[in-house]
Structure 1
Amino acid sequence: MQTKLANLLLAHAPLAALIGNRIQWDTLPQGSPQPSIVMYVVSGVTDYTMQGASGYVQMRVQFDCRGTTAASARAVAEALEARLSGFSGTFGGYKFQGAFMQGQRTRFDKDSATSWFTDSRDAVIHWAPA
Structure 2
Amino acid sequence: MATPRAPSSLTKVLSVLKAAPAPILPSVRALKLTLAKKNAHFGARHFLKEELPRIAYVNPALEVEVEKKEKAKEEQWDPQMVVHFVDGSTQTINMQMKHSSKILEELMTLGDFMPQPVPSSNSPPSSTSV
Give the TM bin, normalised by the shorter chain: under 0.3
TM-score if structure 2 supplies the norm length?
0.27
* Greater per-residue strand proportion: 1
Higher helix share: 2
- Which is higher, the Rg of structure 1 or of structure 2? 2
Q: TM-score, normalised by structure 1?
A: 0.27
Q: 1 or 2 for the larger relative contact order (CA 8 Å, sep ≥6)?
A: 2
